[in-house]
């Protein structure tokens, strides 16, 4: 299965408000803030996004997204 990379972010966007990166997002929170919040909600040990490579970082963010969606169901 091919990955959907349309919502992937670059490292220089980690502290940019999400509403400035994605048209359909209204929050002013950043990617870094989303990751930190998701890790807290899921009880995960925080990871250093700055130390990850582009693909690894975005796969991690995608996995958090899936876990948050699953937890909300």
Nearest in space to 57 (alpha carbons), one of 47, 70, 68, 46: 47
pLDDT for 73: 86
2 versus 44: which is more confidently predicted?
A: 44
pLDDT in tens, 8-62: 999 999 999 999 999 998 999 999 999 999 999 999 999 999 999 999 999 999 9
pLDDT at 59: 95
What six digits make up the tokens of 8? 């992937």
Both structure tokens of 56? 């690894």
pTM: 0.89
Copy the structure tokens of residue 63: 């996995």
Higher pLDDT, residue 61 or 7: 61
């Amino acid at each position: 299965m091919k990955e959907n990379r349309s919502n992937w972010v670059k490292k220089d966007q980690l502290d940019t408000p999400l509403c400035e990166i994605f048209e359909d997002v209204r929050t002013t929170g950043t990617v870094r803030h989303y990751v930190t919040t998701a890790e807290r909600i899921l009880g995960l040990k925080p990871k250093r996004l700055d130390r990850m490579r582009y693909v690894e970082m975005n796969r991690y963010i995608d996995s958090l997204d899936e876990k948050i969606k699953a937890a909300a169901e």
